[in-house]
Amino acid sequence: MLGDLIERRCVDVLQPDVTLTCGITGAARLSKSAAAAGVAFTPHTWGNGIGLLANAHLFAGCGGGPWLEYPIDPPEWTPARRDFMLAEPIKADKKGCITLPDTPGLGIVLDDAKLASRRVT
């Protein structure tokens, strides 16, 4: 469906979220199609830190776009609240840029104690 939107030139900007659409590999294919069609490709994420890291890695790996939209809306929606399951929240610098971790995979380090406290048995 997203490929059809690109092919038919129905959009100027394509903003898939890898956690809700076609995963990292599928979204990477979409980014190539978008680039060939002159459509801006910039992932959109409005979930937790795991989704943010997945979309950010896609964004970086595909050459990026004009921006990466990510969730932050203090005082209610802060990095600490968004990323509660991570050992450390993802923080942006003063320009709004985030630095991707260079650890294996997506660089996700879960906070087992926080997750255990939310376990439903």
Strand pairing category for 13-14 and 40-41: parallel
- Note if the pTM is more than 0.85: yes
- The average pLDDT across 80-85 equals 94
What span, in angstroms and rounded, lies between the C-alpha atoms of 81 and 60? 24
Q: DSSP of 3-41, one letter per residue? A: HHHHHTT--SEE---TTTTTHHHHHHHHHHHHHHHT-EE
Q: How many whole angstroms separate alpha carbon 55 and alpha carbon 53?
A: 5
Residues 105-120: tens digit of each pLDDT: 999 999 999 999 988 9
**How many structural domains compose the chain?**
1
pLDDT tens for each residue of 8-40: 888 898 889 999 988 999 999 989 989 999 999
Cross-strand bridge partners of residue 69: 44
pLDDT of residue 67: 84
Quick one: pLDDT band at residue 121, thresholds 50, 70, 90? Answer: confident
Structural domain of 61: 2-117
Q: What is the CATH number of the domain that holds 69?
A: 3.20.20.120
Q: Which residues are catalytic?
A: 44
